[in-house]
Structure 1
Amino acid sequence: MCGRINQSEVKALSKKIEDRLYIHSFTVKHRIIKKRITHSLMEFTARPLHPVYDNDEPLPLNLHLPIPSASLPRVRVEGIPDTSIVISSDPPNYFLIKVTAPSMSEYGEHPLRRAPVDLVMVLDCMVSEGGLVTVDHLTSAVGFVIDQMCPWDRLSIVSPCPEEERSNFPLRRMTDQGKEDAKRAVGSFNFATDYTDDVVEILSRGARVLERRRCQNQVAFIILVSNIKQSEPVLDRQLTLAYLDELPFSIYPFSPQGPIDDFFRRPVYPIYSFGIGLDHEPFSLLTLSSLTGGNYSSLDTPEILKDAIACRIGALLSVVTLEFSLRIVRLISGVTIRDVHTGSYHYFIGGMDRSIADIKVESLSADEVKEFLIEVALPTNLEWRREEPCLNISWTYKDAVSFTGREELFCDTLRVHRLLHPLPSRTNAESDEVMRQKTCSFGVRSICEALDMAERGEVEAARNYLMEQTVEMSFERSIERDDTLCLWLFDEMREVTGRMAGGVPSYNLGGLAYALSTLSSCETQRMTTIGSRVHGADAIPFQPYGTPNMLEMLRRSRRVQG
């Protein structure tokens, strides 16, 4: 005989079921729609949305020295087909678009030879004398950053402090006096041992510093240092990201869809995040970095924090190009752009029959290289050998050193040799650059697929799968030819495999963070610090996606340690 259920019990049961259904339906798509509606409403509210801060130090009047347009260094763009002669009967075909930023030395007598920056450092850390992260680790890393900045740069520091002690360091020019005051402020911060602000509040405060500036350097970044631990037990990954919805658009934008002509219209501040410790929360750090155009480093120990930040500062203090846009347009009938492999950089394929592709990169540091793999289907009705134009490549950008606000426009045509019948492989070898990108794409896909399996709780199956993929990758010609980038990714895949050996516990404690940081480096084509090593140091001379200025900053950091 069934027991009676009164009306209050029915209501409580219904409420519990509704809550459970809501939680399970709470996906990234719903969160993006929510943000889209919220930010659309904000567009119609009265402006300004926020009061302007009055404590950021004004910029010097002679900030930008004129450089004649004819004397400006140029961003170099090169189109490389996968083979020197394209066989018309072999779809698809791959083309590599290689973008290289100018060196700082090309700016000659300009006193700065780079863009001045506004930098906010957000220290979302709990510290203790006997704990993993100490005050010395933070003050040493921040102090190094302060020392590398110049009077045209400005710095603000945000840290979690009790309510009455929120006198964080405002945006100040790094003059001699500014540097002294910044170091004194960091030394006076009362870093919490058992208290921390909500991360949304800390990051929002950092964003407000940049959003409400009276004066603006055209380049602005956020460095986020965090050792906040994962929740126990580890919940659904989407639920762990739900709290980020309260962040402002400038540091948590949804990905735009459709035409991207106005991609750079609304300011977004790249977040470069550094997670410390095997048990820090990696998904939110990667998400924040990916959506804003930054990247994510995973540090096993805080001892390498200063070196890791030194490498990143080497890139941030060498920005020479802003708002780089690349457009690819077909020139002959029948050409179809099937896919564009850009990693985390935004792209859009349009036209009536996929005849146009756009790629956007927010900024380029000196000597930085970006390589984008374009997958194209070519018509197969040609019956004679000839050279013909295939794709038109045009690009625009703003020079960040002179920064007149004027766009520089350049274009080039990618020509291909066409042949109806195949040639012996020795006379039509695949380009080393294209082969390298294909191999790296294989490695990235393998790690992603392994993570998907591990997130479903199948860690052992994920480990076995990644081991098989690693063996398969070892036979790639790029590996056999000792390509340094491919060998680095090969070693990272083996390290991720090793960090899954202990099952779910070892995957959650370091394995996941290591894999995500590796993916962040590959998808942004920018160096990250992963695990317990800093690439570019004496013991590990190769620095994946490194630049000369990053290596120089690392050497300076090592000299300070010595």
Structure 2
Amino acid sequence: MVSKWRKAKLALGCIQLPRTQGDNNSNNILSSSSAADVVANNNNNNVGIGIGEGPRRFSDAEVSPAAADCRPPSLLTPTPSSSGLRFSRNSSKSSKKNCAICLTTMIPGQGHAIFTAECSHSFHFHCITSNVKHGNHICPVCRAKWKEIPFQDQTPEVLRRKLRSNSVNWNRDNPLVAALHQLPLPQPDANQNIFPTYRVAEPAVTFDDDDPIEEQHTFREQSAHNTSDSSIRRVEIRACPEVSAIAKSASYDNFTVLIHLKAPVARVSNYNPSSPSGSQHSRAPVDLVTVLDVSGSMAGTKLALLKRAMGFVIQHLGPRDRLSVIVFSSSARRLFPLRRMTDTGRRQALQAVNSLSSNGGTNIAEGLKKGAKVMLERKYKNPVSSIILLSDGQDTYTVVGLPGVQSRNDYKSLLPNSIQQISGTSCQIPVHTFGFGADHDSVSMHSISEGSGGTFSFIEAEGVIQDAFAQCIGGLLSVVVQELKLELECVYPSLQLGSIKAGSYNAQLMPDARTGHINVGDLYAEEERDFLVTMNIPHTSLSEMPLLKVRCKYNDPITNDMGILSEVEEVIINRPETTGHVEVSREVDKQRNRLKAADAMSEARSAAEHGDLAGAVSILETCRQTLSESASAEDPPCVALINELKEMQDRMSSRQVYEASGRAYVLSGLSSHSWQRATARGDTTSSTSLSQSYQTSFMADMITRSQTMVLGSLPASPPVRPPRSLSGRPSPR
């Protein structure tokens, strides 16, 4: 049974628990005698996420002038989320202050709340709330006008009533409660006294203060003596014609050839992405910038689960990987520069993320701009680079139709020009976007990801955010191929290419239609890509007709080998005098079905956006029928497509349902199928919440880790006694 203490802590979003009696740090032992003390020492948005020292709440008197100068403006003034509410610890200085309204001494602690205004004057909270509720927003002492005022509903009395509330469903079967129960505890470290890393001052001009990267030559030296390794590392190319034979006298229009690519496997079988040992050199190190929404709408459970998800990411980055965190609300700020995730780097990153609170509006553009600035101005570069963007709202500063601002349909304005995907080149900094909840701007998030070569995931249920991050990280930590370019060349003299169907990948036919190429970019370990090429087959006197030569060039980010040329695959079909019944390749049929489904999703979305939900549902139903009658209808990928189309139909049952989840679900599906890469979409009860069609083994392994690992139980965590109830007695389990 869940203790009353834990219930009270969860109700307030406070996850820290009392320590053992043997804990040397007595300051971490919370008294159970006063509910106000619980409120006094915990901000409802500050939730522990990992091992190491939890973030300490420093008073102004404790922060050195140098550190104070480094603090961003949002940390120097009260925020709407806290409303300036500060429950001070005993201090000789503060005890001598008098409230300028009631003129009595302001006694810290003992449940007395003190409000410190932007002008630095302090008052009893109940005094100042009575003063401002009549519309007076001016300091009674210096007459300065306040931009932010305290809210009456955050008084200790209201919070005490919240503690006594029994309105929360505490059943552990509740997925939300279960997720909160797994939130890890910040563990004290008596030997460390590090300021939270959000206090790092940002450079005035450039972000070139990133940590130096580790020289990577260990594995290259090892593999130089292993000739069999290079053969294992080759990208596999396989070509499959639509039919194996065509009669000599016959011609065939729009003849289709499937080009299949498969990335090599990982270098080690027992892959551990967070290990500092030699297995770290079996993969390419990563530069990762996370751009996180901490606006007011993220308050409470959303922010708590985001912190936990970031804790998971931090724990699974290795000492050769680098991480920087950007947070945005009304403005954006960098918590810390690109920092190597050594033991110290992880601890400081956890502290920085743990210190976050939510307030303000949603300025996605500023967050992206700062994230791109970190990437573009870094002094050193790891082989793999990516940006992760999460938001639960719409950009209220860039695309809301303000006078003189661009049209709301111009979503590309949110993507800095410096990281947009340029035609004919591989995008080096993909932005993987995550739309959180029902109120996010899925069109904008999808546009950002599509323009940069990233994916868009729809996180409908709060509890799946960590799994979605885990899936994405599982891919980024297993990149084995970069800047892959697939080249096509016609062999038969009179043959010409008709089309190249490559989804969102940049494909180009040369003017003579005899050659073409596809820019594929990065591939994760064991990841597969399928492209369809069409041509018109003429009659011939040959018994065998060579159609195409297919080859690809790419870079190996692990060995730093550039311009690797894979084995050339030549496509040949038989041309007998006559042919009987020839079956169409099921592999080609499956890929045709995927493209048909993607086209249907796009058409249905267009119809829905124009208000024709019935027409959208009809388009999806027609596609479902076509797929169910195809040659590969019973193959698992096709069955999954049919089920996904049905789910989309259900989410277009009404305008309200479509606005809440249908649009985001469709866009996430389009992103997955056009890039042939796994995305998260839907809620945790949906069989397609995590698209398994394109999942690699590393993605699946990361999701398993996410669903089974409790970060607070890692070896570095000290033992914690059973939680105490509000009465002070140990609660039953």
Structures share a fold, TM > 0.5?
yes
1:229 is displaced (CA, Å) by 3.6
From the superposition, tell whether residues 436 and 285 of structure 1 become closer, same or farther in structure 2 (CA, over 3 Å).
Answer: same
Task: Select 1:416's aligned residue among 561, 573, 576.
Answer: 573
Contact conserved, 1:332 with 1:389, CA < 8 A, in 2? yes
Structure 1 residue 443 displacement after superposition: 1.2
1:105 to 264, 267, 281: 267
Distance 1:158 1:167, change over 3 A: closer
Distance 1:176 1:457, change over 3 A: same
Judge which range, 243-252 or 314-323, deviates more. Answer: 243-252
1:434 corresponds in structure 2 to 588
Matched, 1:484 2:641: no
Report the CA distance shift for 1:154/1:63 in structure 2 as closer, same or farther (over 3 A): farther
- Equivalent residues of 1:52, 1:212 under 8 A apart: yes
Asked if residue 463 in structure 1 is aligned to residue 617 in structure 2, the reply is: yes
Q: 1:472 aligns with which of 620, 623, 626?
A: 626
2:417 alignment counterpart: 249
State the Cα distance separating 1:534 from its structure 2 match: 8.3
CA distance in 2, matches of 1:347, 1:64: 36
What TM-score, normalized by structure 2, do the two folds share? 0.63
Match of 1:284 among 437, 444, 447: 444
Q: 2:378 aligned with 1:213, yes or no?
A: yes
Alignment partner of 2:335 out of 168, 172, 177 = 168
- Note the 1:221-300 alignment, pairs <5 A: 221-229=386-394, 239-242=407-410, 244-245=412-413, 247-253=415-421, 255-256=422-423, 260=424, 263-264=425-426, 268-300=428-460
What are the equivalent positions in structure 2 for 1:378-389 lying under 5 Å apart? 378-380=537-539, 382-383=540-541, 386-389=543-546
What are the superposed Cα offsets for residues 88-121 of structure 1, whole Å, 9 maximum, x if unpaired?
4222211111100011136998643221110001
| 1:508 matched residue in structure 2 | 659
Aligned partner of 2:731 in structure 1 is none
Which whole-Å deviations, capped at 9, do the CAs of 1:391-418 have from their partners, x for residues lacking one? 1112100111111445445422112212
Alignment of 1:441-456 (within 5 A): 441-456=595-610
Distance 1:409 1:130 in 2: 51
Contact 1:535–1:542 (CA<8 Å) still a contact in 2? no
Which sits farther off after the overlay, 365-374 or 505-514? 505-514
Is contact 2:607-2:615 (8 Å) kept? yes
Alpha carbons 1:200, 1:243 under 8 Å: kept: no
Residue aligning to 2:141: none
Q: Distance in 2 between matches of 1:359 and 1:388?
A: 24
Q: Residue 137 of structure 2 aligns with which residue?
A: none
Answer whether contact 1:160 1:197 (CA < 8 A) is retained. yes
Q: Per the alignment, do residues 130 and 394 of structure 1 end up closer, same or farther by CA in structure 2, a change over 3 Å counting? A: closer
Cα distance in 2 for residues equivalent to 1:61 and 1:187 = 31
- Please report how far the alpha carbon of residue 64 of structure 1 lies from its aligned counterpart in structure 2 after TM superposition: 5.5
Q: What is the match of residue 8 of structure 1?
A: none
Q: Who is 2:353 aligned against?
A: 186
Tell me by how many angstroms 1:234 deviates. Answer: 10
1:244-287 deviation line (CA, Å, top 9, x unaligned): 4364323334x52xxx3xx24xx641011110112211111111
1:3 counterpart residue number: none
The structural deviation recorded for 1:505 is: 2.2
Q: How many residues were matched structurally? A: 487
Q: Which amino acid aligns with 2:701?
A: E
Question: Residues of 2 paired with 1:515 and 1:247: CA distance?
Answer: 21
Query: Is the alpha carbon distance of 1:501 and 1:111 closer, same or farther for their aligned partners in structure 2, counting shifts above 3 Å?
Result: closer
Do 1:340 and 1:347's aligned partners in 2 also have CA atoms closer than 8 Å? yes
Are the equivalent residues in 2 in contact too, given 1:535–1:543 (CA < 8 A)? no
* Match for residue 464 of structure 2 among 301, 304, 307: 304
Q: What TM-score results when the alignment is normalised by the length of structure 1? A: 0.81
Amino acid at match of 1:533: T
Tell me, what secondary structure is at the counterpart of 1:308? helix
Once the two structures are overlaid, the 10-residue window that deviates more, 101-110 or 358-367, is 101-110
Structure number with the higher helix fraction is 1
CA 1:451–1:492 in structure 2 vs 1: closer, same or farther (change >3 Å)? same
Match of 1:550 in 2: 699
Moved more, 388-397 or 106-115: 106-115
What does 1:71-86 align with in structure 2 at a 5 Å threshold?
71-72=229-230, 73-86=233-246
What is the aligned counterpart of 1:361 among 505, 515, 520?
Answer: 520
CA change 1:166–1:326 in 2 (3 A) is closer
Identity score, percent: 30
2:547 is equivalent to residue 396 of structure 1: no
Are the aligned partners of 1:240 and 1:284 in contact in 2 as well (CA < 8 Å)?
no
Tell me the equivalent position of 1:32: none
SS in 2 for 1:220: strand
The whole-number CA distance in structure 2 between the counterparts of 1:449 and 1:408 is 39
In the alignment, does 2:201 pair up with 1:201? no
Output the amino acid matched with 2:678: M
Aligned partner of 1:497 in structure 2 is 649
Preserved CA contact (<8 Å) 2:292 2:328: yes
Q: 1:154 to 1:532 in 2, by over 3 A?
A: same
**TM-aligned CA deviation for residue 127 of structure 1:** 4.8
Tell me if structure 1 keeps the 8 A contact 2:445–2:456.
yes
Cα separation, 1, equivalents of 2:621 and 2:504: 25
Alpha-carbon RMSD: 2.7
Pick from 466, 469, 476 the counterpart of residue 316 of structure 1: 476
In the other structure, the counterpart of 2:668 is 517
Q: Which residue pairs with 2:728 in the alignment?
A: none
* CA 1:456–1:422: 2 relative to 1, 3 Å: farther
Q: Distance in 2 between matches of 1:499 and 1:182?
A: 39
Aligned match of 1:143 in 311, 319, 342? 311
Once the two structures are TM-superposed, the CA of residue 51 in structure 1 deviates from its matched residue by 5.6
Matches within 5 A, 1:114-133: 114-127=283-296
- Comparing 62-71 with 111-120, greater Cα deviation is found at 62-71
- Contact 2:415–2:448, Cα closer than 8 Å, also in 1: no
Please say if residues 126 and 196 of structure 1, whose CA atoms lie closer than 8 Å, have aligned partners that are also in contact.
yes
Q: Secondary structure at the match of 2:666?
A: helix
Offset, 1:471: 2.5
Q: Contact 2:463–2:684 at 8 Å: present in 1 too?
A: no
**Does the 8 A contact of 1:319 with 1:363 survive in 2?**
yes
Aligned-partner residue type, residue 184 of structure 1: Q
Distance change in 2, residues 1:243/1:83 (3 Å) = closer
Structure of greater Rg? 2
CA distance in 1, matches of 2:643, 2:342: 43
Per mean C-alpha deviation after superposition, the further-off stretch among 305-314 and 504-513 is 504-513
What is the alpha-carbon distance in structure 1 between the residues aligned to residue 294 and residue 665 of structure 2? Answer: 20
Partner of 1:460, secondary structure, is helix
User: In the alignment, what sits opposite 2:257?
Assistant: 95
- CA shift in 2, pair 1:74/1:409, >3 Å: closer
1:34 match: none
Cα distance, 1:272–1:383 mapped onto 2, change above 3 Å: same
Task: For 1:211 and 1:234, locate their aligned partners in 2 and report how far apart those are by CA, in whole Å.
Answer: 28
CA contact (8 A) 1:276 1:299 kept: yes
**SS of the counterpart of 1:477?**
coil
Shift in alpha-carbon separation, 1:230–1:484, aligned structure 2, 3 A: farther
Match of 1:20 in 2: none
SS at match of 2:518: strand
Aligned counterparts of 2:435 and 2:610: Cα–Cα separation in 1: 24
Amino acid at match of 1:124: D
Deviations 1:55-111 (A, max 9, x none): 211112345631328432111111111122134422221111110001113699864
Residue 129 to residue 433, structure 1, CA distance change in 2 (3 Å): closer
